């Protein structure tokens, strides 16, 4: 089920220009908005932090000024160090609790007890690990300047909940009059407000970005729809024209480029319709002429044949010249009758009045019958014909008479065009699989020039009209063979090289009406010293000719 949805989505993506344009625009817009939004957030964060640091440093300076004044006023009376430390830290802690910052008192300098093991005084609930070690090392001697850095403030409230928030820590040194030692005061200011402000800005930017992307997607969809809709209409009309509905036209509205395109398309369709009708009428006239002439010639041909038979039987009583004329008349009447039969068969194909008489047979038996019938002509030409026996029967549901006619035409042509007394024979190969059966007829004769494999199945076409043909021929044999192959739903294809011979391949579906997607035999034979450059037909090929 999921794979079916994925395939449908991929098909929709491949076929829809509008979907690809909208998606591409949305993706590019999202990338641009993300980059701009990230830059704005960075600048906003830096601005908030810089402002907060300035405020923090001002507050610390004010606190330190007040602290030094308070110590100076008490220097004459206070002699207890611990009491003076508490008097120093407690007011600052109370101020920090009301103003939202924390205080740590470390020292005196020279005391090796670090804050992490209990040295110093600090605000309640504060984890002294919030003071960075690098900042502690900065104040490892007296007369150090005020310094600040970023840190993470860890605090535990009265309920036992521990929180960790980003913050700014500022350190400054102060000297107690009671013992004359230098101590370090650390002020820790949370950046909670700045973090909330940055979160608010981030949510606002995300909301604005989402709305903007949706707006851009909608606008892009509307704009592309105005362009794609006429294109889709043109595609539908073109499909109807291809299906034979030649009266279909596009609706023209406006005077823009699309309207002018529709007008040009309609003019093209009108011209095509007129030319197709002219060609159909001409083709119909030609088919009718061939059919009528073929049928009309049957009666006089029968009469002439009867007279020719009488003369041919009595040729022994004639003088040599008259006897030879009677023999030539019989030969030419045989050729004329063959031509007439072929013309009648072509006219039946053109009229669509041909049906198949299907049988499940072994094509090897048909090949042997064809070779046996052609053997006298092959012996006369000095050409050897062999059938390469397959390992298993090559069975298919076919019209035996028509398949035998196809093979007879192929074998006769191979004998006609093979080199006499050649070492390599005309070979017939057969093979089959679950879906198809194939027969190839290979000769080693004159072959086919470039481009002739696309013309060899044309009616009345010959590769060399001046060449003597021992087996006769009308130029319709391969055209009829192609029609017989297509009638079975099969392929009839040709391959050839000048001077290296030719090979014809007949491929038929194993079962009548079954799909034909491949052939069990290759179209191009394996030739030594000749590069193979003949592609196999596509899986969906239905053409009878491969060049």
Domain contains 40: no
Phi-psi label, residue 339: left if phi above 0, alpha if psi -120 to 50, beta otherwise: alpha
Asked if residue 155 and residue 89 are part of one domain, the reply reads yes
Between 474 and 435, where is the model more confident? 435
Residue 268: CATH number of its domain: 1.10.287.130
Asked if residue 326 and residue 271 are part of one domain, the reply reads yes
Q: Average pLDDT for residues 385-405, to the nearest whole number?
A: 89
Between CA 542 and CA 547, with CA 546 as vertex, the angle to 5 degrees is: 155
Asked if residue 119 and residue 177 are part of one domain, the reply reads yes
Domain count, the chain: 3
The string of pLDDT tens digits covering residues 154-201 is 988 878 888 899 999 999 888 877 667 788 888 999 998 888 999 999
- Alpha-carbon distances, residue 399 vs 216, 226, 412, 517 (angstroms): 63, 55, 20, 21
pLDDT over 70, % of the chain: 86
Residue 406: CATH number of its domain: 3.30.565.10
Nearest-Å Rg of the Cα atoms of the chain is 50
pLDDT at 214 over 80: yes
Q: Average pLDDT for residues 64-82, to the nearest whole number?
A: 68
Domain contains 14: no
Say how far apart CA 474 and CA 344 lie, in whole Å.
13
Residue with tokens 């196999």: 536
The string of pLDDT tens digits covering residues 87-118 is 677 777 777 777 888 888 887 776 655 665 45
pLDDT level of residue 126 (50, 70, 90 thresholds): confident
Domain contains 304: yes
Asked if residue 501 and residue 468 are part of one domain, the reply reads yes
Say how far apart CA 225 and CA 220 lie, in whole Å.
8
Domain contains 1: no
pLDDT at 504: 93
DSSP one-letter code for 191 = -
Say how far apart CA 132 and CA 170 lie, in whole Å.
11
Say how far apart CA 496 and CA 450 lie, in whole Å.
8
The string of pLDDT tens digits covering residues 409-455 is 899 989 888 887 667 889 999 999 888 999 999 998 888 888 788 78
pLDDT at 125 over 70: yes
Is 33 within 8 Å of 212 (Cβ atoms)? yes
pLDDT at 280 over 60: yes
Asked if residue 300 and residue 364 are part of one domain, the reply reads no
Domain contains 546: no
Asked if residue 393 and residue 317 are part of one domain, the reply reads no
When mean pLDDT is compared over 28-37, 314-323, 515-524, the highest value belongs to 28-37
Q: Average pLDDT for residues 480-488, to the nearest whole number?
A: 88
Token pair recorded at residue 262: 């529709």
Q: Average pLDDT for residues 19-28, to the nearest whole number?
A: 90
Q: How many residues does the chain have?
A: 547
Domain contains 29: no
Return the SS3 of 473. coil
Say how far apart CA 523 and CA 496 lie, in whole Å.
10
Say how far apart CA 151 and CA 190 lie, in whole Å.
9
Asked if residue 381 and residue 342 are part of one domain, the reply reads no
Token pair recorded at residue 88: 């120093």
Domain contains 31: no
Ranges of beta strands (E only) in 340-388 are 358-362, 385-388
By residue range, what is the domain housing residue 304?
A: 257-351
Domain contains 536: no
Residue 152: CATH number of its domain: 3.30.450
Between 547 and 241, where is the model more confident? 241
The residues facing 153 across adjacent strands are 165
């Amino acid at each position: 089920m999921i794979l079916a949805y994925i395939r449908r989505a991929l098909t929709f993506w491949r076929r829809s220009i509008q979907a690809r344009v909208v998606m591409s625009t949305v993706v590019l817009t999202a990338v641009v908005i993300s980059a701009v939004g990230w830059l704005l957030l960075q600048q906003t964060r830096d601005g908030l932090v810089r402002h907060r640091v300035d405020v923090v440093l001002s507050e610390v300076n004010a606190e330190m000024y007040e602290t030094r004044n308070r110590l100076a006023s008490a220097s004459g009376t206070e002699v207890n160090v611990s009491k003076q430390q508490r008097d120093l830290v407690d007011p600052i802690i109370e101020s920090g609790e009301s103003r939202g910052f924390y205080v740590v008192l470390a020292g005196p300098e020279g005391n090796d007890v670090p804050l992490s093991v209990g040295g110093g005084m600090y605000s309640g609930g504060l984890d002294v690990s919030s003071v960075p070690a690098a900042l502690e090392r900065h104040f490892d001697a007296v007369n150090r300047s005020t310094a600040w850095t970023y840190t993470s403030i860890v605090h535990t409230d009265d309920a036992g909940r521990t929180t960790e928030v980003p913050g700014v820590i500022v350190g400054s040194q102060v000297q107690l009059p009671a013992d004359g030692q230098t101590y370090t005061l650390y002020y820790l200011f949370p950046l909670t407000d700045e973090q909330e402000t940055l979160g608010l800005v981030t949510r606002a930017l995300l909301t604005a970005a989402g709305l903007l992307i949706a707006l851009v997607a909608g606008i892009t969809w509307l704009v592309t729809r105005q362009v794609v809709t006429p294109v889709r209409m043109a595609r539908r009309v073109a499909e109807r024209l291809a299906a034979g509905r030649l009266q279909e036209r596009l609706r023209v509205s406006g005077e823009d480029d699309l309207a002018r395109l529709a007008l040009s398309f309609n003019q093209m369709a009108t011209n095509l319709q007129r030319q197709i009708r002219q060609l159909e009428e001409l083709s119909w006239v030609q088919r009718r002429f061939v059919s009528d002439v073929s049928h009309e010639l049957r009666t006089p041909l029968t009469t002439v044949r009867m007279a020719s038979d009488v003369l041919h039987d009595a040729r022994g009583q004639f003088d040599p010249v008259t006897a030879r004329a009677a023999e030539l008349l019989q030969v030419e009447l045989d050729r004329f009758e063959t031509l007439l039969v072929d013309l009648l068969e072509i006219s039946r194909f053109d009229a669509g009045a041909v049906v198949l008489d299907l049988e499940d047979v072994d094509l090897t038996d048909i090949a042997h019958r064809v070779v046996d019938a052609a053997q006298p002509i092959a012996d006369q030409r000095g050409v050897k014909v062999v059938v390469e026996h397959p390992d298993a029967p090559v069975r298919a549901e076919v019209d035996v008479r028509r398949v035998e006619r196809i093979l007879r035409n192929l074998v006769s042509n191979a004998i006609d065009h093979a080199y006499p007394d050649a070492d390599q024979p005309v070979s017939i190969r057969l093979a089959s699989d679950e879906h198809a059966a194939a027969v190839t007829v290979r000769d080693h004769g004159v072959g086919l020039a470039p481009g002739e494999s696309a013309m060899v199945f044309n009616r009345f076409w010959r590769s060399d009209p001046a060449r003597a043909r021992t087996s006769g021929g009308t130029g319709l044999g391969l055209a009829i063979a192609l029609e017989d192959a297509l009638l079975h739903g099969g392929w009839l294809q040709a391959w050839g090289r000048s001077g290296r011979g030719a090979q014809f391949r007949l491929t038929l579906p194993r079962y009548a009406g079954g799909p034909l997607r491949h052939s069990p035999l290759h179209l191009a034979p394996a030739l030594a010293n000749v590069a193979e450059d003949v592609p196999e037909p596509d899986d969906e090929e239905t053409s009878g000719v491969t060049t």
